[in-house]
């Protein structure tokens, strides 16, 4: 089974993934949980220019990702697919490419957790807007009966996801 953590840049996907993993380790052996970063492929090949602000970095790496995917649309898919384990649970942190999501996601068995920070007024990159497309796709799958609503959990928080949600309850809901 895959648990796919979705959300735009800097909403807390990676810290949430770590919380989820730590909670799951209370009941599952470590070798049954596989963490996959959907952005690792680009971070491995991107040369970050010096002196970029956080916002400039996000824009630059997003533009770089899109350029790389134009040359090879399977880069992120291959990186994720090659990291999957076929037993246990894969927690995939941060898919933003709808093409890749649709190829990885099995609506009959996989779970999706969408993280939204309420009142987040930042302007998001084109790459981040892929999350909106994925959400639309998930809603369509649910509306036509191709996915169970129980396979989707949306987490809307204001300031601190740890303080506003009980991770033990979330794990109980998705497993």
- The CATH number covering residue 161 comes to 3.40.50
Maximal CA-CA distance, the chain: 49
Q: Assign 17 to helix, strand or coil.
A: helix
Looking up tokens 């999501």 gives 101
User: For residues 172 and 13, what is the distance between their CA atoms, to the nearest angstrom?
Assistant: 19
The number of domains in the chain is: 1
User: For residues 165 and 34, what is the distance between their CA atoms, to the nearest angstrom?
Assistant: 23
Q: 69-113: per-residue pLDDT in tens?
A: 999 999 999 999 999 999 999 999 999 999 999 999 999 999 999
Q: What are phi and psi of 41, to 5 degrees?
A: -55, -45
Instruction: Please give the mean pLDDT across all residues of the chain.
Output: 92
Which range of residues forms the domain containing residue 101?
2-174
């Amino acid at each position: 089974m895959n648990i796919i953590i979705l959300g735009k840049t800097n909403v807390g996907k990676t810290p949430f993934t770590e919380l989820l993993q730590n909670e799951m380790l209370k009941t599952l052996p470590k070798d049954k949980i596989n963490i996959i970063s959907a952005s690792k492929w680009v971070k491995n090949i991107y040369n970050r220019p010096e002196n970029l602000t956080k916002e400039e970095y996000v824009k630059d790496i997003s533009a770089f990702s899109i350029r790389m995917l134009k040359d090879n649309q399977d880069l992120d898919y291959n990186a994720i697919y090659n990291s999957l384990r076929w037993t246990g649970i894969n927690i995939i942190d941060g898919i933003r490419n709808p093409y890749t999501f649709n190829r990885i996601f099995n609506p009959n068995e996989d779970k999706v957790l969408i993280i939204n920070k309420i009142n987040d007024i930042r302007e998001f990159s084109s790459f981040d807007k892929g999350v909106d497309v994925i959400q639309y796709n998930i809603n369509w799958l649910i509306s036509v009966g191709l996915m169970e609503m129980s396979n989707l959990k949306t987490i809307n928080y204001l300031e601190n996801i740890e303080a506003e949600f009980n991770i033990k309850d979330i794990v109980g809901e998705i497993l």
